[in-house]
Structure 1
Amino acid sequence: MSKQDQNPFENAGLDTLAVRAGQIRTPEGEHSEPIFTTSSYVFDSAEAAAARFSGEDPGNVYSRYTNPTVRMFQDRIAALEGGEAAVATSSGMAAILSTCMALLEAGDHVVCSRSVFGTTTALFNRYLKKFGVTVTFVTPTILDEWQQAITPDTKMLFLETPSNPLCDVVDLQGLSAIAKANKCLLVVDNCFCTPALQKPLELGADLVVHSATKYLDGQGRCVGGVVVGDACIIEDIVIFLRTAGPTMSPFNAWVFLKGLETLRLRMDAHSANALKLARWLDAQPHIEKVFYAGLEAHPGHELAKQQQRGFGGVLSFRVQGDKAAAWRFIDATQIMSLTANLGDAKTTIVHPGTTTHGRLSEEEKAQAGITDNLIRIAVGLEDADDLIADLQRGIDAL
């Protein structure tokens, strides 16, 4: 085997894959990945065009579903997650929707964690039902509830771990055993950890979904999503995207490629800052409870240590008082950005009950633990002491 035929990334570490995996070069020999800003591609002949459209020739056809820049991002995130293939989408919610539309049909049943992003709950509980897909919501950390909720029609188990916003940690190997025994697909939203901290496929998941908008980018620049898993499953999702069109733009894919290059460095820094803030908050008398798996008192702490490299950058906490108190706390901060996004270099703060989970009914909020005095922080890369001083401003306003 010649040097050119060898795969230098076969046993490469995550940091090398994050910088190098999936890259292609044109005859120009560019060092940085190029952006292919073209909608379509020219064929050498009518016969060549027919071969492309039929799939006989795997080359590019139309940038709605084949674009070299997007393909580089897909190949890189697949390598990082340890999956065979990936498909990129226009947003994180598009990744979840595309997965469901491709793999579910009328009459199918989904078991979903109660502790997921509010829009994910709305998608399952309101919109997929219109197409004849039913859903049962369960407590994510109680495996018996998952088992008991499964019916002969169950096709998919869906969850986040750690969850949004209460940082519940789910036993992925235990849940995978349940999924396999019942011939269900296990789909894990790995947005909070990214492959830098957790690899659900290695723990038994069938598919991993991401909002690339968050930590995969890392600077709040673009919106996108991605699904990773076995090639045969991903191909079904590709076919849906080819038809329906919620695909990623080449420019966004290029931005995400650049974000991946610093993924582990950023996730380690986010985790370190978040742990400092969580410990500080946990010691404050005006804070009722802090939700962060990095705290030893968190019920999922030991499990998180087993299946994660770190605890991530998102935490939430309940202040003493009601919604008005939570709003006063948020409004008193001066450094943190009041926005619902997360995964940014800039720390963000938000009131889940009236924003990210605001569309849920009061019953759904109660089941998910979304109280009026709950605040979520996605800890950024600023100096931790400055962020703690900002939190003190919030406490002083209570």
Structure 2
Amino acid sequence: MFEQIVIIGAGQAGYSVAAKLRELGFNKRIIMIGEEDALPYQRPPLSKAYLTGTMERERLFFRPAQFYADENIEMRLGQRVETIDRAARTIRLGPETLSYDALVLATGARPRRLPQRLLGEKVHVLRALSDVDRLRPQIRPGRRALIVGGGYIGLELAAVAAKAKVYVTLVEASDRILQRVAARETSDYFRELHNANGVRILEGTDLQALAETPRGFTATLSNDESIPVDFVVAGIGVEPNDMLARKSGIACNGGILVNAHGQTDDPAIWAVGDCANLPLGDRRLRIESVQNAIDHGAAVAANLLGAAKPYVPETWFWSDQYDTKLQIAGLNIGHDRVVVRTAPGGKGRSHWYFKGNTLLSVDAINEPRSYMIGKRLIQAGQSPRPADIENLEIDLKRVMETLT
């Protein structure tokens, strides 16, 4: 049994490991180290309720400070681990050296920034509490925003800004928004939604130059257009925080490589959450989701205590934009067909991703019933006939019952 477990990273995954260790009865020393000053907190509300001011800061925290005191979880916040000495099983934390029996890397991911020629340090990103605190004063009526990137973060921010009567231009370098993560049908739906709410979306368009002006910036776009804006936000994805692992010689490739139990190539070091590159069937994948951070953290906690159980992620995501809720079950990687199903009354719809006749994923747009049924089918490894999904005369519940 380990005497001392050190967790580097105080986000969702790190919190999940620590809380689960205590829940499973581990009563030895746990030290959690976080670079931010804040206690572990939820990130999804940052681009929604917290940005709009409808959620108070205290409500973001998973637990109050007293929880960590009661559970005897030592919190080292606002501190950065500089090195890992794998031979000595120690880490250096400023002038202090801490030993570990097991080390968990829950270092998360960092937002990609625009290059220096585009004034990258003066462009907002959206990942941490401090990012939102800096951005929030900009979100007010009459302001002009340029959002670079048409992924979910960029679109969620566009929705918040547009509702606050900010004039929003969003540029996406790819042919369409959400191209990396969703089918054309989903892209088309959200493009129309944003257009209807006054957001100007320019696809196949990139930011070429950004110059400061007395009032803000002048943005020069790849379509030869120059526009004045008051502030700029980059929503161009994230990169895994694997620098510490690389520096210590731990195997990394698009994240920290772990086995099915969450161990790195050093058996005393584990990795969880956004920074971890997981084995998934015949491929490897980083899964950037709240659910993966929770579940992977809990699985690694159990494996630290000897469970030796492979982690199989159940992938689901969501995005809120205006009054529209998108719920995603499964992973659409490798799909070759998308079946569209419209809900009765036309108030919602769902996009079902198939590879051949195998159901991979479902995008449910204001359609919780399709989401729940699709999620259950994917979890069970069952695939309905695409024709049955397409046929609105066949009830989805009946489709599911015929397969169970």
TM-score, normalised with respect to structure 1: 0.27
Greater share of helix: 1
Instruction: Indicate the structure whose relative CO is greater, using CA pairs within 8 Å and at least 6 residues apart.
Output: 1
Rg comparison, structure with higher value: 2
Bigger strand fraction? 2
